[in-house]
Structure 1
Amino acid sequence: MQKKALNTCVALVVLGCVGTPAVAADLKIGNPETDLGELSVSGFLRAKFQDKSWDSTSDNKLTFDAAKINVDYKSPKIFGHIEYRCYQFDELCDFSTLVDAYAGYNINDKHLIQAGLQAVPFGPGRFWESNYYGGVVTQIGLEDAHNVGVKYQGKFDSGTKVELGYFSNDGGTYGGPYSKDASRYTSNYVKPENTDHTYLDETNMFVARVQQDIGGLPEGLSSNVGASYWYSDIDNKTYNTTGDRKAWALFGNLAYNDLALAVTVGQNDVDNKDPNNSITSLMGSFDDNYFVANKGTFYTADVSYSFKNVGKFDSISTYAMYSSYDKDEAGFKTSSRNLVGMAAYYKDITFVAEYIMGKNDFLIGGPSNSYAEGTNDGTEKLLNLQLYYNF
């Protein structure tokens, strides 16, 4: 009943934004440079058209897809941020989830601390690619991961940026029509629907990220390199034991004017203390459950080029991505997601066109064991067209 009421409230907010977009776009109160601060609301409404190679029954029509609401507070010392999203599976906002809810304090202009539900500082950033669909590493809970904790961030004159975080637990479950515990934004270990499967929970996450700007480069050229490390407890609720996750990532970014290249490589190593299945673990997000191999190496490479002031468009961005999870277990098949696409920006409107190829990828037509042993020798394809109204 509470989830249904929450989804109804979110749907009403979305309908309100559709009906009064001009008012939402101007919703700012106060001044961020004063002690009283500024409160603002922003977000997007998104429609989509998708053609799936694995689904011949798809109706292939433009439908409402998602809405995002951001509430931000800024002042010289105190800041805060809330991000809430709702999606349409069968009806308006039948899946909705909290993404972020944190508050922070600016110690000075280079150092801050923030606490609450927030992005985990692992890898090159919240998103590792320039596209709108994301890479396969998102599904193993290391990219675009949002958990509950506290983080310190410091920037130094040497061009070094340091982030240290402790996250006590994941962001919890919200409202969805299909799963009791996988109704969440981030891919986390979840309570299984099938009691024969082991129930895992990730806690006590210690995460560190260091990023270094490269100086002395020619005009128009910029670059940075970095590394991150993740250590956490994996609580096995079924057998009352505790294992761990150890993960690391190395990354680099190189840009020359409007051309950008980003590369990330790392490893995921999970000990789930499961006497019956030590090589895979159950995870879930976006109202679905799936198995993930406990040990593997991941790769992400992304290249993009931005064209400014093209006709009536403010800019047009083109991009391509390679993303994979190569499992250590003998006989397990690599999961990959490759993508080419473009995004065109005109005032408050964004149009996205992406062609995605997935192999052993649960989100691109694969079965629930795609990120584990994998059983699909073929490549599935998705044409993803999206239209955003940003407010």
Structure 2
Amino acid sequence: MFVLLLCACCAVTGHAQDKPELKIGGALRFNYNYSSWKEGQKKRGGDFGYDVFRINAKGSYKGIKLNAEYRFYSEGFGGMMLKQGWLAYDLSATDEIQLGLTQVPFGIGPYNSNSWFFSMDYYVGLEDDHDMGLKYTHKGDRWEYALAFFKNAEELRFGSNSDASNSRYAYDAGTYEDADGKAYRNKEVNQVNGRLVYKVGDEGQHRFGLSGQFGGLYNLDTEEMGTHYAVAAHYKMNVNHWGIKAQWTTYGYNAKAPQGESEDVVALTAYGAPYLVAAEASVYTLGLSYDIPVEWGPISNITLYNDFGYLDKAKKSFEDSYMNVTGALVTAGNVYTYFDMAMGKNQPWLGPVWGDALAQGTPGADWEYRINMNIGYYF
């Protein structure tokens, strides 16, 4: 279908490009962190090491465009993974169609956050997610909208009931075995997405948006199809040096799991380490930022920000999750450095509990903190 669409568009527009174009870029990043719940690390004064090396490729020839990004993390952080990789064709100056591993049109884009840590939506699979499918986008002066169909999330194993690979950039339904030996095993399939944004002011200084997604949730043990959905409303503002990102999201997973498995949780996976999340919840996020242009040697801009996130779980006996990140992004030529003070409660990346933090949580959990500095050279 995609090939036929491209051929038809080429025939109508007569678009041609004599020479192929290819641009190669990427980034090398290092990371320092000091975590309140890691006693050994605190005694060492934190740890500083390798984060990621990535390669970006953008190309075009005869109207067909390519955009790909491959990342190399450490083995303990998921190893090698394709973040995105798609082909595209411009139907007009405002309309484009993409095929491949492309960003899911949902919520504030491209990121519902200012910090290196992303927002709470990311950790439940609803920020900067990329899935395999076909997407149509329109970007006009006042209206932006996108429609997409995703056959599935990143698929690296093509067996009859193979588990979703844990080596992925964004969170998707996967497999997790709990302390009782129950293995929650699902895959996202046949998902449809829609996103609508209305822009107000010069260059869209104010953006109001609605998003929705609905898809199948295939259980690898029962071989039955459940469902999952998400709905969001958002507001984004950029006026002078100020920025606001506010979003409300609600989601639900209905897995056709084997008898004995809880219907109140579902497994998500990314970066080589799956965990459980509440099957139904609402997410509230608010991000504030302020840009300060400067001329300090190579430093040209400092962005101050605070991102807050709250995961309100539908099951009353579950403990809700919180995170707050206060920090600054320093821009110096091609070097971008994030200085973050991240705090969390029942948040797996910001506390001692991993598997259940976003699911049942821990009653009486303390706020934990992580001092983080990420330095990246982008080329």
> Shorter-normalised TM-score: what interval?
0.7 to 0.9
1:236 to 219, 234, 253: 219
Match of 1:156 in 2: 140
Letter in 2 for 1:291: L
- Indicate the SS of the match to 1:288: coil
| Aligned-pair CA distance for 1:188 | 1.2
Name the CA distance, whole Å, in 1 between partners of 2:331 and 2:275. 35
**Retained in 2: the 8 A contact 1:123–1:249?**
yes
1:247 to 210, 222, 230: 230
Match of 1:304 in 2: 289
Given the alignment of the two structures, is residue 135 of structure 1 paired with residue 119 of structure 2, yes or no?
yes
| Aligned-pair CA distance for 1:156 | 3.3
Given the alignment of the two structures, is residue 98 of structure 1 paired with residue 85 of structure 2, yes or no?
no
Match of 1:278 in 2: 263
Given the alignment of the two structures, is residue 260 of structure 1 paired with residue 243 of structure 2, yes or no?
yes
Given the alignment of the two structures, is residue 166 of structure 1 paired with residue 149 of structure 2, yes or no?
yes
| Aligned-pair CA distance for 1:111 | 0.7
Letter in 2 for 1:300: T
Given the alignment of the two structures, is residue 42 of structure 1 paired with residue 46 of structure 2, yes or no?
no
| Aligned-pair CA distance for 1:35 | 4.1
Name the CA distance, whole Å, in 2 between partners of 1:89 and 1:128. 28
Letter in 2 for 1:390: Y
Name the CA distance, whole Å, in 2 between partners of 1:309 and 1:252. 28
Name the CA distance, whole Å, in 2 between partners of 1:325 and 1:34. 49
Match of 2:10 in 1: none
Deviations 1:290-320 (A, max 9, x none): 1011101001111111111342211111110
Given the alignment of the two structures, is residue 292 of structure 1 paired with residue 280 of structure 2, yes or no?
no
Which structure 2 residues correspond to residues 169-180 of structure 1 after superposition, within 5 A?
A: 169-173=152-156
Match of 2:375 in 1: 387
Name the CA distance, whole Å, in 1 between partners of 2:235 and 2:197. 9
Given the alignment of the two structures, is residue 185 of structure 1 paired with residue 172 of structure 2, yes or no?
no
Q: Structure 1 pair 360/173, CA: closer, same or farther in 2 (3 Å)?
A: farther
Q: Structure 1 pair 94/369, CA: closer, same or farther in 2 (3 Å)?
A: closer
**Retained in 1: the 8 A contact 2:164–2:174?**
no
**Retained in 2: the 8 A contact 1:252–1:263?**
yes
Match of 1:341 in 2: 327
Match of 1:79 in 2: 65
Letter in 1 for 2:92: N
Match of 2:74 in 1: 88
Which structure 2 residues correspond to residues 196-207 of structure 1 after superposition, within 5 A?
A: 196-207=182-193
Deviations 1:11-55 (A, max 9, x none): xxxxxxxxxxxxxxxxxxxxxx95424201111101111100011
Given the alignment of the two structures, is residue 52 of structure 1 paired with residue 35 of structure 2, yes or no?
yes
**Retained in 2: the 8 A contact 1:281–1:291?**
yes
2:206 to 200, 223, 227: 223
Name the CA distance, whole Å, in 2 between partners of 1:96 and 1:336. 30
Match of 2:343 in 1: 357
**Retained in 2: the 8 A contact 1:292–1:369?**
yes
Letter in 2 for 1:79: K
Unaligned runs of 5+ in 2: 1-15, 158-162
- Indicate the SS of the match to 2:274: strand
Unaligned runs of 5+ in 1: 1-32
TM-score (norm 1): 0.84
Q: How many percent of aligned residue pairs carry the same amino acid?
A: 24
